[in-house]
Structure formats: structure tokens, C-alpha cells
Amino acid sequence: MTKTTNMKDILPAFPEENIDMFAATSVLQQQAAEIRNLNPNWSSYLQSQMISQEVFDFISAYDVTDAKGQFLINHRPQSAKAFFSLLEHISKESTIQYVLVLIDDLLTEDRSRVEIFHEYALKKNEPVCGNFLNLLNAADGFINNMSARIIAKFACYSTDLINQTDLQFYLNWIKEQLLSANNEYMQSVARCLQMLLRRDEYRTAFISVDGISTLLSILSGRVNFQIQYQLIFCVWVITFNPRFAERMNKFNVIPILADILSDSVKEKVTRIILAVFRNLIEKPEDNTTSKDHCIAMVQSKVLKQLSIFEQRKFDDEDIVEDIQFLNERLQASVQDLSSFDEYATEVRSGRLEWSPVHRSAQFWRENASRLNEKNYELLRILVHLLETSRDPLFLSVASFDVGEYVRHYPRGKHIIEQLGGKQLVMQLLSHEDANVRYEALLAVQKLMVHNWEYLGRQLEKEQGTSTDRTTALTGKA
């Protein structure tokens, strides 16, 4: 176990959100309520020698007492030993379910009780989460998810961190469950993650297993507002780390959340998205990154949505403050926004549209060479879109931009060929969408012309020759 002594690291200083770890609508909670009414026959386990006399004495007394808190204080050394022994030696699903509910209930009542289990695990020199991690592979969904919930409490309530190997296994299990189709325990899994990400050390581990991409891939699809809220809460908590806030929009978080914001009718979803946006501006230590985030929000039509919100009445003061803050910062960024800033932000978002800069000949004359900056960053994004996008609009605009770059930058043709763009544009000549075919054809024509200035002079020369011939034939000057 890794030790962390600063409690502020465990529960960082940010606005407290009532997670409601066991929501009334949760499938897990509904099943737990039924399981609490079970009455396991502990004597049969003693008689079959599946549990010891010591474990039997503890659990049979604990099960019937109304003063469970005082009982745990009086029997602290035996508590964890008894619960772990029950999980290790009993195989009947209903009894395992019952034991898990007992453990979860005692941790819910007093989070400091995690130390009872940590002390025992330390004494035995074994990981405190071992039994529960094994149960993540059980066939029963309730056992899986109640075990996951208990692990989250061990991870967050204690001053000790769970070890890296166990953490990696747990995070990958959470990812798999989040991505599992029609998972009835989705809310419970998301709540585990909400708890876990309150500790900065676990945020780092979650990002290392590509967790942000997982969250955003789910949020890009069709999920109910409760899951939206829970997963965006996870994004929000991550953005309290300045380093992660700076990297966040590399995952396209701003356009994805902006889309949800424009469609959302639930105030709590609106509130958490605005809080994410505020963090993305306030938390980065690099001012340039904050500016880029502002521009991305403008590009994603957040300003328009803010103006709509200003006409609504919100009871939550945080929402009102966040709307005002974002409005001021985004309006200020618009004043400083150059046409190239606007273009670069749009390309980086991966969501191209026919905004005015694309069709502006002046823009391309002045800025074509700037697409070479940062090791051809913007060109590489355009080529990537040509290769991976299925959206006809994105493909049309990307094809057009490649053609304009080649037209206005002398070595553009060579660079596009090196990046693989020429072949991709040519493949689009047979695309099913007529607009894509048209823009691809124009781009290919520009790629095939070697010298635009030479072509221009040739056209002028041919037009001049044609005029001379007409004059000679008609006798008119």
C-alpha cells in the first residue's frame, strides 16, 4: 500500500457535489434491499466446517444486534478476519451477496471503518482489495458490482492508496463495464468512478488506461441524462488537475459537451457542463491553452447557448455565475480572434463546416504557409479526417482545404503527397456523395497542376492570342 498523508490530496478543494452513492433508482440498491431480508443459516456453515467457531460466533452475533457500531468497536480485531473468511470459504451466491451488503452498509454508516480492514490486511501482508477484486469475475452481476462499490470505498476513504497492480485491474474492469451494451448496472459503475476520481493519484491512473477517450466515446452516443451527468462529473473532477485540464481538448471534449449542452433539458447536466468549461479556462497554467479553449468554445457555438441561458431563470447561483464568467471570457476571446485562430481551432476540433475562412482567397494567400507550423499539425489533421471520417461535410471541406493549400503554397503538392493526402483525395473521386466527389475532383485538379503562376500566365497568353485573332478577323481594334 502507498501512503498519502495530506488529506487535501484525498479530497481536493473543489465545490462539493452530492454524489448520492446509492441512488434510489439504482438496480443495485433495489436488489440490496431485498438481500437484506435474507436469513443465512450460519450454523450449517459451521457444521460443515466451512467456517470456524470464531467466525460463527462473530457473524451470528453481529447479524442480530441492533447496535452494530458498538459491536464493531468491541470486536474490532475479529471483524475483518470474519468477513474475509466468509468471502473466502462460502460459495453460495445468496450468502456472498448478503455478506457484501453487510460490509457495504457498515462502510456507508462510517467511512473510517475502512481502517478495520486495512489494519487486518497489513497484519496479514496481503492487499485489502484482494477478495473483492476476485469477485469482479463472478458470474453474478450483483456480486460484481457490490464488490466494485466496496473497492471504491476502500480506495477513497482510507489514507492508503490501493497498489498499482490492483488499481490497473480495477480501472480496466470499470472501462469494460462502461462500454458493455445494455449494462443494467451502468449507474453503479459510473458512481464507483465518480468516487475514485476524487483522488488525484487515481485520475493519473485512469488517464493512463485511456479513460478519457472511453468517457467521451460513451458521451458521443445516446445515453440517458443520468449517465450523461455522472460521466461528465468524472470529466469535471479530472479538470481540477491543471495538467489534465491543459490536455483535455485533445480528446475533443469541448465540441462533444457543447453538443450535449445544446440538447440538454436537465438543469444538473447544464450545470456540470458549464462547470467543466469554466475549469478548462481557469485551471490551465498556460494562458495560451486557456485562450485555445475559449476559441474552441466559440467555434462550438457555446456563446449562442449562453445567450439562450441568459433569458432563463435558474435557481442555482453557481449556474448564473458560470454563465456570466463564460460569457465575459468568450466575448473577450472573440475580440482577439484572428481568422487563422478560428480556422486552426475548427480543424483541431475535427468538425469542419463551410465557415467563411475556407472560401476566402485572401485567407489562403496570407495563411497557407502557416499550415506547415508545428510539424504540419493542421495538415496532418486534415489528412487524418480524409482517411477516417464518414461525414460527407467533413470530407468535402477537408478536400477543398487540401486543394487550396496546394494552390497557394509552392511546395504544397510535394508535402501533401508525403503525408499521404493525394491518394486519399483521389479515392474520394468514387465516393457515394456527389458533393464529396465534386470537391475531391477540384482538389485533384489542383494537385495535378505543377505551377499555378505558370498556368495563370498561359491562360492570360491564350486569352490575349484569342483577342488578337478576333481583332484580325473583324478588323476592329
371: DSSP letter: G
Q: What is the pLDDT along the chain (477 residues), one digit of tens a residue?
A: 444 433 344 344 334 344 444 444 589 999 999 999 999 999 999 999 999 999 999 999 999 999 999 999 999 989 999 999 999 999 999 999 999 999 999 999 999 999 999 999 999 888 889 999 999 999 999 999 999 999 999 999 988 889 999 999 999 999 999 999 889 999 999 999 999 999 999 999 999 999 999 999 999 998 999 999 999 999 999 999 999 999 998 899 999 999 999 998 899 999 999 999 999 999 999 998 998 899 899 888 899 999 999 988 888 889 999 999 999 999 988 877 788 988 998 898 888 999 888 999 999 999 999 999 999 999 999 999 999 999 999 999 999 999 999 999 999 999 999 999 999 999 999 999 999 999 999 999 999 875 555 545 555 665 665 555 444 444 544
CA–CA separation, 415 and 369 (whole Å):
11
The set of cell numbers assigned to 337 is 480572434
- Which has the closest alpha carbon to 195: 240, 148, 144? 148
What percentage of the chain's residues is helix, strand, coil (to nearest 5)?
Answer: 75, 0, 25
Q: Which secondary structure element, helix H or strand E, spans residue 2, and what is its range? A: strand 2-3
Alpha carbon distances (Å) from 164 to 12, 205, 208, 340, 400: 21, 8, 12, 44, 48
136: DSSP letter: T
Contact 230, 187 (CB under 8 A): yes
Give this prediction's pTM: 0.76
**How distant is the alpha carbon of residue 443 from its chain centre?**
35
Residue that has been written with the C-alpha cell 456527389 in this structure: 434
- Which has the closest alpha carbon to 318: 24, 16, 103, 69? 16
Nearby residues of 405 by Cβ (< 8 Å), 6 or more positions away: 364, 368, 371, 379, 412, 416
CA–CA separation, 241 and 348 (whole Å):
22
